[in-house]
Amino acid sequence: MLVTSPLPAPIGVAVVGAGYWGPNLVRNFQSSPNFRLRWLCDLDVERAQRVLGGYSTVQVSADLDEVLADPSVDAVAIATPAGTHLPVAMAALRAGKHVLVEKPLAATHEEGLQLVEEADKRGLTLMCDHTYCYTPAVLRIRDLLAAGELGELHFLDSVRINLGLVQRDIDVIWDLAPHDLSILDFVLPPSVRPVAVAAHGADGIGAGRACVAYLTLQLNTGAIAHIHVNWLSPVKVRTAIFGGSKRTLVWDDLNPSQRLSIYDRGVDVASPEELGDEQRRDILVSYRSGDVVSPALTEREALRTMVDEYARAITTGAPALTDGRSGLRVLEILQAASRSLAEGGTMIKLNEGHMA
């Protein structure tokens, strides 16, 4: 007789926030066998009920305390404005719940640090939903860099521009750059980290905040990363170029038939191994022109992969791929970029423990 082990019980989860992003979380938690959606909490109860539909058995409440008091709720997913992340997430952690927070982790690095320390103290999972990190393309880029397929990273050039919604409370850096910064943090090998950032921006429409910005990051290896974010572009562009010593990878997120292209093309530099001060010789430069490969990717919704990772972190106790510390590292760069912007583009050093 075949004896099978019982499946683990689904994790009871509550979603807080039924606005722009909350419905996406609701849909993915409901479709995941790892979770059972218990509550949808929003100050606008009617909006929450519309998100769930007329036949849902999920409970609705405007009272966060009521939701957190339910013993069937093991985990909380927060999709509220960044300014509310600290009080909402802190309340959930203190109620003994695992916490998933939309980007950014908090409104400031100091607030994010409070959440990380509280989760550590209580032995709870704190995860940041850096959604792009869970796309098939970014997961593949991470694997390729880890395996050394591109060689040593020399540069990253990322463009995230569109005719977008000008935010009332944040500039374009805090709105769009968290995506690119979280991707950079996610794909870099553990020994590679940003050590300084400079930011330049402009407000051509009189919005009172930067609508176009350029971030330049220095890495500890001598490599450079450049990020362009823009609310005012008439065309939407989502590209990133990872230039390595062996190969260069181009990611075009708006091209579903060929999101990734790996070019065996580049510049090779050959020089004598030992050159004394008096033995200056010309460095030999050659240009390599090889094949272009477009690896096949299995299309899967990034949010579904993220939800599965949240379940894995909760059940195993291991840190999530985008844990609270990754959110903290992104916040550190964002705050340094804001300072650089205010100081006219000065290069701001990051903490030595940035990747800790």
Q: What is the pLDDT of residues 98-112, one digit of tens each?
A: 999 999 999 999 999
Q: Which residues are CB-neighbours of 235 under 8 A, at least 6 positions away?
A: 161, 162, 163
Domains 11-129 and 133-302+331-349 share a fold: no
Per CATH, the homologous superfamily of domain 11-129 is NAD(P)-binding Rossmann-like Domain (3.40.50.720)
pTM above 0.75, yes or no: yes
Residue 195: φ, ψ to 5°: -120, -15
CATH number assigned to the domain covering 133-302+331-349: 3.30.360.10
Residue ranges covered by each domain of the chain: 11-129, 133-302+331-349
Give residue 288's pLDDT band: very low, low, confident or very high (50, 70, 90).
low
Sheet bearing 98-102, strands edge to edge: 59-61, 35-41, 11-16, 75-78, 98-102, 126-129
Rg of the chain (C-alpha set): 23
Is the pLDDT reported for residue 277 higher than 60? no
SS3 155: strand
pLDDT in tens, 106-139: 999 999 999 999 999 999 999 999 999 999 999 9
Phi/psi region, residue 208 (left: phi>0; alpha: psi -120 to 50; beta: rest), is left
Tell how strand 98-102 and strand 75-78 pair up: parallel
